[in-house]
Amino acid sequence: MKLPRRIEPNLKTRALGYLARREHSRLELERKLAPHAQTSEELSSLLDTLEQRGFLSAVRMVEQVIHMRKSKFGSQRIVHELREKGIAENLIAAALPNLRETEQETAREVWRKKFGAMPANAKELGRQMRFLMGRGFTAEAIRQVLRHADKEEA
């Protein structure tokens, strides 16, 4: 018995499939679809159409990334991720005040889950600071968490 030949999905079908799974930025979608497009004009036209119809939205992308990352990462890491995804600076700047508002609370919660105890010496202090910095928290938020952590324990 001969198996039927697999039909390759067209560009629009691929794009909608990606967007059905999760939000994508224009840049991400462009990178994923580029190998399948006949021309760059075809790809650009499709992306424009998807944006006009509301299937592709940078605002929703920003909201999703923030929602998914804010409980584990600091504002610096989230901003870096948004820039990597090709999000416009004005959208990032608009989201930044909300991130900074809750950053110290988030840093304290992340620190509590990982360590839960004040550093006993300078080496341990450095280790805890590096961990929080790696998660993208600002130096000020890290200082506040480590300065007031002993008051939390009591």
The predicted model gives 63-92 an average pLDDT of: 95
Report the distance separating Cα 34 and Cα 38, nearest Å.
8
Mean pLDDT of the chain: 91
Domain with 44 in it: 10-56
107: in domain: no
49: in domain: yes
35: in domain: yes
Q: Does 150 score more than 70 pLDDT?
A: no
Q: What is the pLDDT of residues 102-141, one digit of tens each?
A: 999 999 999 999 999 999 999 999 999 999 999 999 999 9
pLDDT of residue 151: 59
Number of independent structural domains in the chain = 1
pLDDT of residue 53: 96
pLDDT of residue 153: 47
91: in domain: no
Radius of gyration of the chain (CA): 21
15: in domain: yes
Percent of the chain, pLDDT > 90? Answer: 84
Residue pair 142/132 in contact (Cβ under 8 Å)? The answer is: yes
99: in domain: no
The Cβ of residue 106 has, within 10 Å, a number of other Cβ atoms equal to 22
pLDDT of residue 9: 83
Q: Does 152 score more than 70 pLDDT?
A: no
CATH for 40: 1.10.10.10
